[in-house]
Structure 1
C-alpha cells in the first residue's frame, strides 16, 4: 500500500519509524564504542586495519615492482637489440669499406704493374734500338775486315774497284792470278823481255812498274808487291785495254 505523503514528503509508518530508530541507535552505539578511550577494541582497530592493509600494500608494491622490473627488462632487451643491430651495421660498413679499399689497392697494384711492364718493354726496345744504331755506326765507321789470304785480297780489291767503276769478276781475277803468279804476291819475273829492259813483272798479276804507276788507284798502297794494290791496278789496266780482266786469258 502506498505511503501517505504530506506536503510532498512521505509519511513514515509506525513500523518504519521503529526500524529507523533501531538503526540510528545501533549506529550511535557503534560510534560511541569506537571513540571511547582505553577500549581494547579501540586500540586493536587501527592495528587490525594496518595489519589488513599491509598485505594489500605489499601486494600492490610487489605488483608495481614487478611491472617496473618487467618494463626495465624489456627496455634493456630493446636497448641490447638496438646496440647489437648498430654493431652489426657498423661491422658491415667496416667490411664494405675494407673491401672497397682492397679493390682500390688491387686496381692500383694492377695499374702500377702494367705501367712497370710498359716501361720495361719500352726500355728494352730502346736498348735494342740503341744497340742496333751503335752496331750500324760501328759498321759505318770501322773499315771492313778481310782475311789476309788470296780470297780476302780479291774481295777487298773488288770493293775498291766497285767504288771506281772498274769491271771484273771474282772468277776472272782469280783465274788470271793463278796463271800469272800461282797466288804469290812476291812473285817476280826476271827472265822475260820486261826483265831484260829493267822493268820486271811483279806481284799477283805480274804488273811492270810503268803500268802500275799509270793505273794505280788512289787509296791503295803504292807498291807492286801489295796484293790489293797490284790487283786493282792490273784490273784498271785490263779494263782500259781489254774491257775487263774477265776477257784476259793469256799474257797481257
Structure 2
C-alpha cells in the first residue's frame, strides 16, 4: 500500500520589527544590516531596538567618524571649508570626542555661557553660525561641528587653520 502523500510543509517567514526593516533599508553596509537582524526570528532573540541608533538620520554611522563625515557633506553643500583631519584634531583637543562635554570653569562659563559639545561652542556663537538643516541643539554632534566650522571659516579661513582655543 503506497504511503499517503503528505502536504508540503509551509515555512513561515519570521516576523521582524518595522525598525529592523528600516535599518535594513537605511544601512550603509552589509555588516551594519546583518548584525541587528541575525537571530531576529527566534523566540530568545534580544529586542531589535536599542537606545542608540546605529546610524544617523542621514545614514552615517552614529559615532565620531560618522558625525564628521556628515558635517563635511553639509559643509560641502554650503561652501564651508574644512577637512576631516582639521575637524578631528580640534575635536580631540576640545572635548576628546565627547558630544556632551561642557566647560564649567573657563571665562565663558564664569560669564554664564559655558562652551558645549564636540568643538566647545558657546550658545551665542552657535546661534550666530548655525547652519540651516542642522539641529538647533548645541549638543547635537553634527550641528555643533558644522556651526563651529562655519565660525572658524569666517574667523580663520577654515577649521584647518585652528591649532588652539578659538
Normalised to the residue count of structure 1, the TM-score between the two structures is 0.43
Higher relative contact order (CA 8 A, sep 6+): 2
User: Is 1:192 the equivalent of 2:106?
Assistant: yes
Q: Deviations over 1:84-139 (max 9, x none)?
A: xxxxxxxxxxxxxxxxxxxxxxxxxxxxxxxxxxxxxxxxxxxxxxxxxxxxxxxx
Q: Number of paired residues?
A: 110
Within a 5 Å distance, the mapping from 1:28-177 to structure 2 comes to 144-177=58-91
Task: List structure 1 runs of 4+ shifted beyond 4 angstroms.
Answer: none
User: 1:186 offset after TM fit, Å?
Assistant: 0.2
1:209, 1:151 → 2: CA distance? 24
1:213, 1:146 → 2: CA distance? 24
CA RMSD of aligned residues (A): 0.8
Determine the structure 2 residue equivalent to 1:210.
124
User: 1:151 offset after TM fit, Å?
Assistant: 0.1
Structure 1, unpaired ranges of 5+: 1-142
1:251, 1:217 → 2: CA distance? 21
Structure 2, unpaired ranges of 5+: 1-56
Determine the structure 1 residue equivalent to 2:142.
228
1:173, 1:146 → 2: CA distance? 17
User: 1:203 offset after TM fit, Å?
Assistant: 0.1
